[in-house]
């Protein structure tokens, strides 16, 4: 019996040591198998622990589209009065030239057609109003922005078409193909000239405002002056007054009272 207990004690100690070694190795393997943390997770965790909130993702802001500048065509009609018409017409033309404008047409009867730069139109009208009598004006404006942009697009498309036709013309093999392409080129070229002319006209109309001025004769009442005869005219003057009194006396002698109609 003593021999059995003696042998069992070392065996039990060895068995416990073996179990301890196996458990420690298994824990080590669990630590090695655990997934590694990303650097970004560590960075976010560090910021959270320091009290700094994570940076939000940058949001792309929509680009603001600028609206095109308005293209306005101004037309002005002015009516005023002056004692003399022709000097006033000359004065108005010189005033327009001082503001960078010019006269298209004018007449001695007082009608003037002017072109004034749009940036100086307001100052020109204010100066003309100060130097005129009975001044009135009528201003109208037309927005040609859409018309101008549409014309630009048409011109650009026509120019692209011409470039394409020129490339096709280089590859034409027969006379018939060449004639057809040249006919289309002529049509496109005419369209380009037409759109270019329209753009020039709109640009000129926007830059130079049309002003029509009507000058009228200023009416002044006629003041009748009292008659004052000279030294030799007094006898005749008093004789004229006396004859008037005699005429009134003769009428009074024959006509006492004019009967009134009932």
Tens digit of each residue's pLDDT (9 = 90 or more) over 136-153 = 999 999 999 999 999 999
Interacting residues of 56 by C-beta distance below 8 A, sequence separation 6+:
none
Is residue 78 within 8 A of residue 136, CB to CB? The reply is: yes
pLDDT of residue 240: 72
What is residue 34's predicted lDDT score, i.e. its pLDDT? 44
Give 84-114 as a DSSP string.
-HHHHHHHHHHHHHHTT-EEEEE-TTSEEEE
Read off the pTM: 0.56
241 alpha-carbon distance from chain centroid: 76
- Please choose, from the candidates 109, 132, 137, the residue with its C-alpha nearest in 3D space to the C-alpha of residue 122: 137
Range list of β-strands (E), 37-120: 72-82, 102-106, 111-117
Count the neighbouring beta carbons within 10 Å of the beta carbon of residue 209. 25
Q: What is the CA radius of gyration of the chain?
A: 53
Give tens-digit pLDDT for 36-87.
444 344 434 434 443 444 444 444 444 444 556 889 999 999 999 998 999 9
Mean pLDDT of the chain: 77
């Amino acid at each position: 019996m003593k021999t059995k207990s003696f042998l069992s004690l070392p065996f039990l100690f060895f068995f416990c040591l073996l179990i301890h070694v196996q458990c420690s190795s298994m824990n080590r393997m669990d630590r090695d198998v655990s997934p590694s943390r990303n650097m970004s997770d560590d960075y976010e965790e560090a910021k959270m622990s320091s009290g700094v909130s994570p940076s939000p993702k940058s949001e792309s802001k929509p680009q603001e589209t600028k609206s095109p500048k308005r293209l306005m065509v101004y037309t002005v009609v002015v009516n005023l009065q002056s004692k003399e018409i022709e000097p006033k017409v000359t004065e108005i033309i010189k005033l327009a030239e001082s503001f960078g404008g010019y006269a298209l047409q004018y007449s001695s009867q007082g009608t003037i057609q002017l072109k004034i730069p749009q940036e100086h139109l307001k100052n020109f009208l204010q100066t003309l109003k100060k130097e005129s009598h009975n001044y009135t004006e009528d201003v109208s404006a037309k927005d040609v922005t859409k018309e101008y942009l549409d014309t630009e697009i048409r011109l650009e498309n026509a120019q692209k078409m011409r470039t394409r036709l020129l490339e096709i013309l280089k590859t034409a093999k027969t006379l018939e193909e060449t004639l057809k392409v040249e006919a289309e080129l002529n049509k496109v070229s005419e369209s380009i000239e037409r759109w270019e002319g329209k753009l020039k006209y709109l640009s000129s109309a926007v830059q130079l405002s049309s002003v029509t001025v009507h000058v009228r004769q200023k009416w002044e009442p006629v003041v009748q002056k009292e008659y004052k005869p000279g030294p030799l005219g007094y006898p005749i003057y008093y004789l004229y007054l006396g004859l008037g009194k005699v005429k009134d006396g003769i009428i009074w002698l024959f006509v006492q009272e004019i009967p009134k109609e009932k």
